[in-house]
């Protein structure tokens, strides 16, 4: 058997070997130690092998694969944008296989494991949907083709690691089963009977059950079942180095990077290369991971737990309870003060999710005061002797108190943090005095030098990194993402950029409609809401349903949705509220429905086919000013420069992500309608907006929209 990249290779090294065998009977002779021969192989694979499996060769996909292979070989940082339809996933998977199973870089980077393989390649994604597609579709498909072509001897393998809350915790499962009612117990029992660890594998589990039995933040080595329970055994199995791919999310990858940077124990096995897919979301994950976070609820729960302990005889129960109570009330005082200081214009604005705050003056004093008592708790907790009933909870709370103390230290140590408050997801709690606790119960602080931290912990490392996404650039430049992520510090010779357009025929299949009749966006102006409603209804009519109306504000969505509903259109109408998904499923099944949405529909949701043929973008998606953008603004002396370099590029990236929801395959056709006068003929952003879309038909006439639909859709579409 002739083998290119797996196991032992007969006639190996400098003897060219045929690697493509029947059924095509075409053979490619390559020298597996030569870079250029691997490049030839890539092209051959996409042009010849893949066609036998129903794939059409796409030149941009081949180019992308070649560039990624070169970047992996050179240990570069690769910033790639591949528009929908390019086939980016296979374009990075195949070069990754060559690096992982091949010998091109032997001795250059990566160590060989005892089984003869090199270290795995990590693929980090933002969404579970993509992780699932990699594990169940892309990797098995590539493995099958490579196996059938006798290119590898053993199938490709991949370990999937989701966030810990997706797995069952045996300790919590057992406790839950003791108190659950019979139907709940029956549903959950299947987990044990079938030895399932991933909660998503059991469809019968409700969110309530999942929340009651999943691995939570208290899982650590102190647990008596550590190393024996299903979750930790699962971790042991996926942490073996023998997999070709470790498929994880951005946050886990960053957590691993941060631990390695501080000589902590890594979370995933050593790897030789990283692919960061959905890279446009990497900045959000980085902010999330590098943030310090203080949660009022967590402090209150810890204080309540401490207050409930029954201490062993001779312990100072009263003093401990008093201390815990003091920590609780001081934290409430701090949050109440911060809540009261939130600027008035941010309160009641439904588009604001982060609320400006500062740790200075009285807030700083309250924080330091709280820290003093938490310090005492940290000293006292390990020495407390509790009765056996409370032993496990005692360990858990001790760790929580230490974490709270670490966060407070971080707040006090780093003066260079941008602070903000966020809504707590839990109901507000009553204080002992009967005063309602603040609604904004999460205080976060993000290092202002995030870019430098990412550079130091990540980009400066020697292994190759591939960042890829459908939308990364704005106005043809990657400057915006580079600046935000610290990639601008990577030496130019190590940083590779590429952008691949979509192979889809947009000129034929897409029309861009830009309204000339809507007033300047103002959700408080009834005339504006009326104009949006009326134009939306006419466009829905032209598209015969099949429409998603995309808002940047839930409030505006609600107003327009209510009006449209009153008018009783002959199409099923759905509204996707914050955090919900049911309306999306109903819309997909409806055939010709209309979906009102905001937030999540802007990206990462796949709706191929005719059901989504009209995408109405009500307002250009400029980001709502928040504490982070307010701070960013201070780095620019000129506001126009800030708008040009930050505000507009961010809006354009989001606009392109929204557009990406419409055309998901080469058979899709439809209309994007923009109802924002700033994109109109006299609008200040028309040039930039038009340049953000691929070349396609442009109109401001709804008659033309109707005509277009009659031309591109079959008669069945209108029934």
Q: In whole angstroms, what is the distance from residue 675 CA to residue 517 CA?
A: 8
State in angstroms the smallest separation of the CB of 142 from ligand SF4: 33
Please state the separation of Cα 38 from the chain's center in Å: 32
Q: How far is the CB of 220 from ligand SF4 (least distance, A)?
A: 7
Q: Closer CB to ligand SF4, residue 399 or residue 456?
A: 399
Rounded Cα distance between 45 and 66, Å, is 12
- 560 near ligand SF4, rule: CB under 6 A: no
CA atoms within 13 A on the CB side of 214: 19
- Report residue 34 as tokens: 């030569």
Q: Which two tokens stand for residue 350?
A: 């439904």
Task: Give whichever of 286 and 398 is closer to ligand SF4, judged by the CB atom.
Answer: 398
d(CA 330, CA 376): 14
Kindly tell me which of 170 and 298 has the beta carbon lying closer to ligand SF4: 170
Nearer to ligand SF4, 61 or 232 (CB): 232
Residue 237: which residues within 8 A CB-CB, separation 6 or more?
159
Closest separation in Å from C-beta 227 to ligand SF4: 8
Residue 226 lies near ligand SF4 (rule: CB under 6 A)? yes
3-state SS track over 304-370: HHHHHCCECCCCCHHHHHHHHHHHHHHHHHHHHHHHHCCCHHHCCCCCCCCEECCCCHHHHHHHHHH
CB of 637 to ligand SF4, least distance (A): 51
**Segments in 156-314 forming alpha helices (H):** 170-179, 182-193, 207-213, 230-238, 250-261, 282-290, 296-308
Nearest distance from C-beta of residue 242 to ligand SF4, angstroms: 23
Report the residue number, 171 or 661, with the smaller CB distance to ligand SF4: 171
> Is-cis flag, bond preceding 23, omega within 30?
yes
Give the binding range for ligand SF4 (CB under 6 A) out of 164-172, 242-250, 607-615, 706-714.
Answer: 164-172
Question: Is the CB of 196 or the CB of 712 nearer to ligand SF4?
Answer: 196
171 near ligand SF4, rule: CB under 6 A: yes
In the complex with ligand SF4, the residue whose CB is nearer, 226 or 667, is 226
- Which of 104, 199 has the CB closer to ligand SF4? 199
DSSP for 461-490, written as a single string: SSS-EEEEES---BTTB-HHHHHHHTGGGS
292: left (phi over 0), alpha (psi -120 to 50) or beta: beta
Phi/psi at 85 (5° precision): 95, -5
The least distance separating ligand SF4 from the CB of residue 308, rounded to whole angstroms, comes to 20
Q: How many residues bind ligand SF4 (CB under 6 A)?
A: 11
Reduce the DSSP state of residue 575 to 3 states and report it: strand
Q: Rule CB under 6 A: choose which of 33, 157, 225, 349 binds ligand SF4.
A: 225
* Closer of 390 and 622 to ligand SF4 (Cβ): 390
CA distance linking residue 338 with residue 345, whole number of Å: 15
Task: Provide the β-strand partners of residue 121.
Answer: 245, 273
Q: For the CB of residue 289, give the shortest distance to ligand SF4 in the complex, in Å.
A: 21
Near ligand SF4 in 112-151, by CB under 6 A = none
Residue closer to ligand SF4, measured from CB, 403 or 488: 403
Number of C-beta neighbours around residue 630 at 10 A: 13
Interacting stretch for ligand SF4, rule CB under 6 A, among 167-175, 285-293, 331-339, 693-701? Answer: 167-175
Rounded to the nearest 10°, the torsion over CA 596, 207, 204, 581 is 10
Stretch that binds ligand SF4, among 76-84, 165-173, 407-415, 614-622 (CB under 6 A): 165-173
CB 221, min distance to ligand SF4, A: 8
| Binding window for ligand SF4 (CB under 6 A); candidates: 225-233, 292-300, 509-517, 672-680 | 225-233
With CB under 6 A as the contact rule, which of the stretches 166-174, 355-363, 454-462, 567-575 interacts with ligand SF4?
166-174
What's the closest the beta carbon of residue 297 comes to ligand SF4, in angstroms? 20
For residue 543, count other CB atoms closer than 10 A to its CB.
27
Q: What is the DSSP letter of 443?
A: E
Q: How far apart are CA 317 and CA 393, in angstroms?
A: 16
Q: Is 35 in the site for ligand SF4 (CB under 6 A)?
A: no
DSSP H or E run through 442: strand 442-447
Residue the block writes with tokens 């029956």: 186
Minimum distance of ligand SF4 from residue 393's CB (angstroms): 12
DSSP conformation class of 662: T
Rounded to the nearest whole angstrom, what is the least distance from the CB of residue 173 to ligand SF4 in the complex?
8
C-beta closer to ligand SF4: residue 66 or 170: 170
> Using alpha carbons only, how large is the chain's radius of gyration in Å?
28
In angstroms, give the least distance from the CB of 200 to ligand SF4. 17
CA distance 569 to 596: 14
Nearer residue to ligand SF4 within complex by CB, 88 or 171: 171
Which residue, among 299, 315, 308, 494, has the nearest Cα to 401 in the 3D structure? 299
Distance CA 303, CA 324 (A): 5
- In the region spanning residues 205 to 224, those forming contacts with ligand SF4, defined by CB under 6 A, are 215, 219, 223
Which one of 20, 68, 169, 306 is in contact with ligand SF4 (CB under 6 A)? 169
Residues listed for the chain: 719
Select 171 or 575, whichever has its Cβ closest to ligand SF4. 171
Residue 218 or 461: the one with the smaller Cβ distance to ligand SF4 is 218
Q: Which residue number, 16 or 227, has a Cβ lying nearer to ligand SF4?
A: 227
The least distance separating ligand SF4 from the CB of residue 396, rounded to whole angstroms, comes to 9
Which of positions 494-523 make contact with ligand SF4 (CB under 6 A)?
A: none
CA distance 410 to 511: 52
Task: Map the footprint of ligand SF4 across residues 228-257, applying CB under 6 A.
Answer: 229, 231-232
437 binds ligand SF4 (CB under 6 A): no
Least distance CB 168 / ligand SF4 (angstroms): 8
Q: How far is CA 610 from the centre of its chain?
A: 27
CB of residue 401 to ligand SF4, shortest distance in Å: 18
- List residues binding ligand SF4 (CB under 6 A): 169-171, 215, 219, 223, 225-226, 229, 231-232
């Amino acid at each position: 058997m002739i083998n290119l990249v797996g196991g032992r290779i007969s006639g190996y090294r400098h003897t060219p070997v045929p690697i493509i065998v029947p059924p095509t009977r075409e053979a490619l002779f390559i020298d597996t130690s030569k870079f250029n021969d691997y490049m030839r192989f890539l092209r051959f694979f996409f042009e010849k092998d893949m066609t036998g499996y129903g794939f059409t060769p796409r030149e941009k996909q081949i180019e992308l694969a070649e560039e990624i292979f070169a970047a992996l070989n050179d240990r570069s940082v690769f910033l790639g944008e591949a528009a929908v339809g390019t086939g980016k996933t296979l374009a990075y998977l195949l070069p990754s296989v060559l690096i992982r199973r091949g010998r091109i870089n032997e001795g250059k980077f990566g160590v060989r494991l005892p089984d003869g393989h090199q270290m795995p390649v990590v693929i980090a994604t933002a969404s579970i949907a993509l992780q699932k597609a990699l594990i169940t579709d892309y990797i098995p498909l590539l493995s099958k083709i490579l196996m059938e072509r006798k290119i590898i001897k053993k199938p490709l393998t991949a370990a999937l690691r989701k966030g810990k809350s997706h797995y069952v915790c045996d300790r919590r499962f057992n406790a839950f089963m003791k108190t659950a009612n019979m139907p709940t117990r029956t549903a959950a029992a299947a987990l044990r009977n079938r030895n399932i660890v991933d909660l998503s594998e059991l469809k019968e589990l409700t969110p309530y059950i999942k929340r009651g039995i999943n691995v939570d933040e208290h899982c650590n080595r102190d647990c008596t079942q550590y190393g024996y329970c299903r979750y930790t055994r699962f971790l042991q199995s996926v942490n073996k180095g023998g997999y070709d791919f470790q498929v994880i999310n951005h946050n886990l990858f960053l957590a691993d990077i941060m631990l390695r940077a501080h000589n902590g124990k890594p979370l995933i096995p050593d790897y030789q290369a990283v692919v960061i897919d959905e890279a446009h979301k990497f900045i959000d994950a980085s902010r999330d991971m590098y943030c310090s976070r203080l949660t009022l609820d967590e402090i209150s729960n810890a204080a309540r737990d401490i207050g409930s302990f029954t201490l062993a005889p001779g312990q100072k129960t009263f003093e401990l309870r008093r201390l815990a109570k003091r920590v609780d009330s001081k934290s409430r005082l701090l949050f109440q003060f911060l809540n009261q200081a939130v600027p008035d214009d941010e309160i009641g604005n439904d588009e604001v999710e982060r609320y400006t705050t500062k740790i200075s003056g009285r807030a700083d004093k309250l924080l330091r005061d709280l820290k003093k008592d938490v310090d005492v708790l940290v000293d006292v907790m390990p020495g407390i002797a509790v009765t056996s009933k409370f032993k496990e909870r005692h360990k858990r709370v001790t760790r929580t108190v230490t974490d709270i103390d670490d966060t407070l230290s971080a707040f006090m140590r780093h003066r260079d943090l941008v602070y903000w408050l966020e809504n707590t997801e839990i109901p507000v709690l009553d204080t002992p005095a009967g005063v309602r606790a603040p609604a904004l119960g999460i205080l976060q602080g993000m290092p202002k030098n995030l870019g430098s931290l990412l550079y130091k912990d990540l980009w400066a490392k020697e292994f190759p990194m591939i960042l890829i996404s459908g939308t990364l650039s704005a106005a043809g430049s990657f400057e915006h993402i580079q600046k935000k992520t610290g990639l601008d510090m990577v030496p130019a010779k190590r940083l590779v950029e590429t952008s691949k357009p979509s192979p889809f025929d947009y000129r034929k299949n897409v029309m861009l409609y830009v309204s000339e009749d809507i007033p300047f966006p103002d959700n408080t102006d009834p005339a504006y809401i009326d104009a949006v409603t009326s134009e939306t209804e006419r466009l829905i009519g032209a598209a015969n349903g099949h429409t998603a109306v995309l808002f940047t504000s839930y409030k505006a969505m609600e107003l327009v949705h209510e009006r449209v509903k009153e008018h009783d259109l002959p199409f099923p109408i759905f509204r996707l509220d914050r955090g919900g998904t049911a309306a999306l499923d109903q819309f997909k099944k409806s055939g010709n429905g209309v979906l009102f949405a905001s937030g999540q529909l802007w990206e990462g949701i796949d709706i191929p086919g005719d059901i989504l043929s009209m995408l109405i973008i009500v307002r250009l998606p400029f980001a709502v000013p928040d504490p982070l953008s307010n701070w960013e603004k201070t780095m620019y002396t000129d506001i126009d420069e800030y708008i040009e370099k930050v505000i507009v590029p961010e809006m354009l990236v989001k606009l392109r992500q929204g557009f990406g929801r419409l055309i998901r395959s080469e058979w899709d056709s439809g209309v994007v309608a923009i109802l924002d006068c700033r994109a109109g003929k006299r609008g200040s952003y028309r040039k930039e907006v038009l340049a953000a879309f691929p070349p396609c038909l442009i109109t401001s006439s709804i008659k033309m929209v109707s005509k277009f639909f009659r031309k591109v859709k079959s008669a069945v579409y209108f029934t």
